[in-house]
């Protein structure tokens, strides 16, 4: 289990996180939702061990992240960052290989091949990153992170995604999130994603954490958490809930008069 216990964090006198708790389990997609500035990305950086909380605990598969080395952390979790940089001239295969730098030499090739297949990037492997579309670059970074997890021998592994759908059009974003959930189930890894789109979360998330001003408002099963009144309070606007009975789809849209 990936476990946050009463995590608080301050920077420069500003309270960024306040007593946030969360449990993510392998096989599920857990989504962190909240308005801009709520502390979603900060929370993810605390989970990844990049930021150390002022108080509270972060455990990855039962191990407290504070004492773990960077290499040890890397065998437990992989991260797709919000702003992924593309070094000039790199090929997709070189990027994905970076995920397996710490793997045993025998496992590298297998992990790479599997990561490329899972993300449907095998045919892009020899392409240069700067010649790819935004969605393809995103998939390449996902493959890099997956490769890191596949090369690890740890029993419990987690994939952390920070606004990984931000630059994608809604159709690609939707298929990406469906894929994360599928990967979580197939590989039995825990996926935690920061997402901005309420409806993507509603459609794909197993669990949702609602965050506002660094505080956890609610955490639990998606259907229980994503209630209209609660979302209206967090985002400070009126919402309308749309339901398509035959497709079985719910969606929230802003309910404002123009």
Partner 1 sequence: MIRLSLLCQCLLVALLLTCLGSLLHGSGIVWAMLHGNQTLPALQLQLLLQLRLPRLLVAICSGMLLSSAGAAIQARFRNPLAEPGLLGIYSGAALAAALALSLGAGILPVSLAGFAGSLLTLWLIRLLASPNGNGSRLILSGVAISALLGSLLTLLITTLPDGALRSITFWLMGSFSNAEWPQAWLLLLATPLVWLGLFRQWRLLNALQLGEATAFHLGFDIRRGAWLVVCLASIAAGVVVSSCGMIGFVGLLAPHLTRLLTGSDARRLLLAAPLLGAWLTVSADWLARSLLAPAELPVGVITSLLGAPFFLWLLRREQESPRA
Residues of this chain that bind partner 1 (CB under 8 A): 45, 48, 50, 69-71, 73-75, 78-79, 81, 83-85, 87-91, 94-95, 98-99, 101-102, 128, 130-131, 148
**Which CB sits closer to partner 1, 63 or 84?**
84
Q: Which residue in 88, 96, 87, 132 sits closest to 114, CA to CA?
A: 96
In the complex, the smallest distance separating the C-beta of residue 34 from partner 1, rounded to whole angstroms, is 21
In the complex, the smallest distance separating the C-beta of residue 180 from partner 1, rounded to whole angstroms, is 17
In the complex, the smallest distance separating the C-beta of residue 141 from partner 1, rounded to whole angstroms, is 9
**Which CB sits closer to partner 1, 99 or 190?**
99
**Which CB sits closer to partner 1, 78 or 187?**
78
Residue 34 burial (C-beta neighbours within 10 Å; 0-12, 13-18, 19+)? buried
The CA distances from residue 18 to 32, 106, 184, 214, 233, in Å, are 15, 44, 28, 6, 19
**Which CB sits closer to partner 1, 69 or 257?**
69
Phi and psi at 37, nearest 5°, equal 80, 10
**DSSP letters along 182-237, please?**
HHHHHHT-EEEEE---HHHHHHH-SEEEEEETTEEEEEEEHHHH--HHHHHHHHTS
**Which CB sits closer to partner 1, 109 or 233?**
109
The CA distances from residue 219 to 20, 46, 74, in Å, are 10, 17, 26
In the complex, the smallest distance separating the C-beta of residue 229 from partner 1, rounded to whole angstroms, is 37
**DSSP letters along 108-134, please?**
HHHHHHHHHHHTT-GGGTTSBGGGS-H
In the complex, the smallest distance separating the C-beta of residue 77 from partner 1, rounded to whole angstroms, is 8
In the complex, the smallest distance separating the C-beta of residue 185 from partner 1, rounded to whole angstroms, is 23
**Which CB sits closer to partner 1, 127 or 203?**
127
The CA distances from residue 226 to 119, 204, 230, 233, in Å, are 29, 12, 7, 12
């Amino acid at each position: 289990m990936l476990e946050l216990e009463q995590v608080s964090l301050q920077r420069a006198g500003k309270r960024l996180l306040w007593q946030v708790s969360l449990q993510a389990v392998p096989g599920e997609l857990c989504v962190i939702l909240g308005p801009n500035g709520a502390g979603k990305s900060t929370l993810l950086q605390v989970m990844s061990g990049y930021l150390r909380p002022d108080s509270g605990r972060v455990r990855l598969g039962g191990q407290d992240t504070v004492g773990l080395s960077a290499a040890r952390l890397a065998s437990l979790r992989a991260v797709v960052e919000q702003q992924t940089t593309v070094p000039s001239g790199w090929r997709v295969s070189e990027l994905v290989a970076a995920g397996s730098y710490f793997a045993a030499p025998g496992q590298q090739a297998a992990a790479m091949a599997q990561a490329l297949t899972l993300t449907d990037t095998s045919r892009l492997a020899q392409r240069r990153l700067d010649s790819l579309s935004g969605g393809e670059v995103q998939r390449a970074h996902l493959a890099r992170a997956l490769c890191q997890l596949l090369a690890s021998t740890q029993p419990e592994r987690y994939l952390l995604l920070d606004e990984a759908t931000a630059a994608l059009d809604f159709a690609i974003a939707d298929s990406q999130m469906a894929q994360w959930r599928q990967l979580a189930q197939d590989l039995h890894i825990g996926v935690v994603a920061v997402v901005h789109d309420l409806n993507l979360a509603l459609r794909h998330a197993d669990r949702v954490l609602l965050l506002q001003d660094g505080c956890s408002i609610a955490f639990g099963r998606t259907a229980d958490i994503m209630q209209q009144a609660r979302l209206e309070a967090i985002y400070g606007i009126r919402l309308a809930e749309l339901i398509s009975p035959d497709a079985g789809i719910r969606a929230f849209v802003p309910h404002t008069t123009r």
